[in-house]
A and B are shown apart, each in its own frame.
Chain A
């Protein structure tokens, strides 16, 4: 490669740089060859490197971000690509996220935790109420059954000594038994008809919350794509 080929290639490589910049650079290197002297042409070309390298350095140095160098940057070739505009972008992004966390964290985190705690509380309370009602109903039934049995046994015992008392006791026993049977039927009806729908509401509620949350997350993920 001679100086004309070198300059021609450099001109081509700088063709997108604008008329003035290109002319300045070409004038400089043309003069540079002349100053070095006729015999030094090959030396100069070897020292300068390829027109590609020369063009790259011009482009890199004259891009707007380098017009006012503030940061200390190295001239080693392998460090050149570090001068990208990534840094400020990341800095602002991270800064905003951190700021948002600091500002909204104390409000959002307790609110979310509070809501979740509230939901859990309602759920536990509902289950507790159902269980309590069930236990109470069973207890009442058991009481009536015991009363019926006790009155029956007492009635049988009194049958010989005091028939009138015995008949009263046996009648009471039968009433208690009737109430017990009534309660058992009511409880069975309750368990068969009402509890499944209560259970259904609970399950629907939990599944609904789950799907709502999933839908939100899903929508967010889809929105990102």
Chain B
């Protein structure tokens, strides 16, 4: 992507990816899915997840899977509120950007 990726957008997308599964999801999968949307290094995601967890937006729990431990991330209530906030902000932002981009095409 040619556009800069800000911390807020990365946070928002990470929360959205985690929220896709009601039961939560694990680090590797989150990384792959976020990387499907944003061009970020694989090493970027862990610090973001850890920070979101420390801020109280994400909670973790461990689950046995194929004979080993897997750490799941899940949105807290606080995280859901934050997610809603980001969605609202993004809608406003993208609507404005789209209006500018597509405004010139109305006549066509």
Contact = CB atoms under 8 A, between A and B. Distances in A.
A and B associate = yes
Interface of A: 21, 24-25, 27-29, 31-32, 34-36, 44, 47-49, 53-54, 57-58, 60-62, 66-69, 71-76
B87 interface: no
A94 to B, nearest CB: 26
A44 B48 CA distance: 18
Interface residues of B, number: 29
14 contacts: A25-B50, A31-B28, A32-B27, A35-B26, A35-B29, A35-B70, A44-B42, A48-B43, A49-B43, A57-B47, A58-B47, A61-B48, A73-B7, A75-B10
A185 to B, nearest CB: 94
Contact of A35 (B5, B8, B28): B28
A74 B4 contact: yes
Nearest to B53: A24
A76 B4 contact: yes
Contacts of B54: 62, 67
A44 B68 CA distance: 20
A47 B41 contact: yes
Nearest to A60: B47
Contacts of A75: 5-7, 10, 40, 44
B86 to A, nearest CB: 12
Nearest to A49: B43
Contact of A62 (B10, B47, B71): B47
Q: Is the interface of A mostly helix, strand, loop or mixed?
A: helix
Given A28-B46, A34-B68, A47-B42, A74 B5 contact: yes
Interface string B58-93: 000000000011110000000000000000000000
Nearest to B54: A67
B96 interface: no
Q: Which of B43, B48, B50, B55 has the most CB of A within 10 A?
A: B43
Given A53-B43, A60-B47, A27 B71 contact: yes
Interface string B20-57: 00000011110100000000111110111111001100
A28 B49 CA distance: 10
Given A28-B50, A47-B43, A67-B51, 12 more contacts: A29-B46, A32-B27, A35-B27, A35-B28, A35-B29, A53-B43, A57-B47, A60-B47, A61-B50, A61-B51, A73-B6, A75-B40
B28 A48 contact: no
A72 B86 CA distance: 13
Contacts of B69: 31
A32 B31 contact: yes
A72 B5 CA distance: 9
Nearest to B29: A35
Contacts of B7: 69, 71-75
A114 to B, nearest CB: 54
A60 B69 CA distance: 27
Nearest to B48: A61
A48 B70 CA distance: 20
